[in-house]
Amino acid sequence: MTHAADGAARTATLTLPRGEIRTPAFMPVGTAGTVKAMMPESVRETGADILLGNTYHLMLRPGAERVARLGGLHKFMGWERPILTDSGGFQVMSLSDLRKIAEEGVRFRSHIDGSEHFLSPERAMEIQCLLGSDIQMVLDECPKLPASEAAIETSLALSMRWAKRSKAAFGEQPGHACFGIVQGGTYANLRCRSAEELQEIGFDGYAIGGLAVGEPQEVMFETLDAVMPSMPADRPRYLMGVGKPDDIAGAVLRGIDMFDCVLPTRAGRTAQAFTRDGTLNLRNARHAEDDAPLDPACRCPACRKFSRAYLHHTVKANEIIASMLLTWHNLTYYQDLMQDLRDAIAEGRLAAQVAEIARVYAREPVD
């Protein structure tokens, strides 16, 4: 249900049996059944409506069948709200060894122990069904970039055939959704073709994959500008693996509804904090005697109870609480960012909000 719009951007509520999702939404990443350094109830306190899990990681360890025997992923990880699972196509490309792609699927070696595995569209959907995820992604082939248009076109054709097989394997699962994935590299014609072919198959939502893989931000935005007119207006639109605050803001401006990224949790484990004034590096000595909070406007425990000096101390002492507090802060910042963007859309001032976020994050590198 769409509530408000400002240009191409919109606010809406996605309703699933396990709960409502306010969009634009950011999904914290719980790759292996945990959001690193966080308890599930703490993730919820940040404002998250939905988490992301990953087929590739969970099929390798502990195994989808084991998770199913133990009651499904929600029970297993202690998160009763919606979960979206990626199909594993990107991880097969980026993490595994000896990837061999064929029409039937992809054979690869685990990055954990070198064991050999096979993932087909049918198996990817079976795993997600065993996990019990609320939103399930089709298996796609993620080519490494840069690549020629001919190579991307060949890859895209395979992904579209796999999408059709994935949708058939998903079948009828009342209360669950299946999303297609638009591919095509940075070639506008291929992206638009992919979006149109996926709509012919018919999905509950449409993701854009294969971006934020090293291309400059302006190229990502140019690709979105080209493909978004071909994306259906009556379905959720999800930009996979994005990203930095200014990436998210710019994509919301262009009509994207859903995001995920490891950045806020990974940054929390490497002493970086996102704030309304930019990114801070808590390893820097200038914080050693700073009694101010990370962000005076933030509601998280790291900002309400502790100083920059304390956080700097725990980082330098390699205390586990540093990762916990900085991750909690970063996830809170991201959820507040999404609420600010939703409010800006509702009030018709999104362009100014996006411009301010871009201005703040143009101050990189991290100080």
Longest dimension (CA), the chain: 60
Cα–Cα distance for residue pair 179/172, rounded to 1 Å: 14
pLDDT tens profile 26-57? 999 999 999 999 999 999 999 999 999 999 99
pTM reported for the whole predicted model: 0.96
- Provide the pLDDT for residue 367: 62
Task: Report the chain's mean pLDDT, rounded to a whole number.
Answer: 95
- 19-23 and 97-101 strand pairing: unpaired
Asked whether the predicted pLDDT for residue 264 surpasses 80, the reply is: yes
Question: Residue 361 — φ and ψ, nearest 5°?
Answer: -85, 5
Q: What are the pLDDT digits (tens) for 300-346? A: 999 999 999 999 999 999 999 999 999 999 999 999 999 999 999 99
What pLDDT shows up at residue 144? 81
Q: Hey, what amino acid is at 60?
A: L
CA–CA separation, 223 vs 226, rounded Å? 5
Per-residue pLDDT at 97: 62
* Residue 277 predicted with pLDDT over 70: yes
Q: Does 2 have pLDDT greater than 90?
A: no
The model's confidence at residue 365, banded by pLDDT at 50, 70 and 90, is low
Element (H, E) at 302: helix 301-305
* Close Cβ partners of 291 (under 8 Å, ≥ 6 residues apart): 307, 308, 309
Sketch out the chain's domains with CATH numbers: 2-260 (3.20.20.105), 268-361 (no CATH)
Q: Is the pLDDT of residue 361 over 80?
A: yes
Share of the chain above pLDDT 70, in %: 97
pLDDT tens digits along 171-225: 999 999 999 999 999 999 999 999 999 999 999 999 999 998 889 999 999 999 9
Kindly give, in sequence order, each residue whose CB lies less than 8 Å from that of residue 156, ignoring residues fewer than 6 positions away. 183, 184, 190, 193, 194
Q: What is the pLDDT at residue 362?
A: 87
176 three-state secondary structure: coil
Q: Which amino acid is at 95?
A: L
Q: Are 15 and 261 in contact (CB under 8 A)?
A: no
CA atoms within 13 A on the CB side of 198: 35
pLDDT at 91: 85
**234 pLDDT higher than 90:** yes
pLDDT in tens, 278-289: 999 999 999 999
C-beta of residue 209 within 8 angstroms of C-beta of residue 90: yes
Cβ neighbour number for residue 217 with a 10 Å cutoff: 16
pLDDT > 80? residue 65: yes
Degrees to nearest 5, angle at CA 203 with 253 and 54: 80
pLDDT, tens digit, for every residue of 105-137? 999 998 899 999 999 999 999 999 999 999 999
> 87 with 166: CB under 8 angstroms?
yes
Distance CA 143, CA 187 (A): 13
Report residue 167's pLDDT band, with 50, 70 and 90 as the boundaries.
very high
160-167 average pLDDT score = 98
Active site residues: 86, 260
pLDDT-derived band at 363, boundaries 50, 70, 90: low
Cα(63)–Cα(110) distance, rounded to whole angstroms?
13
Q: How confident is the model at residue 355 (pLDDT cuts 50, 70, 90)?
A: very high
Q: What is the reported pLDDT for 93?
A: 75
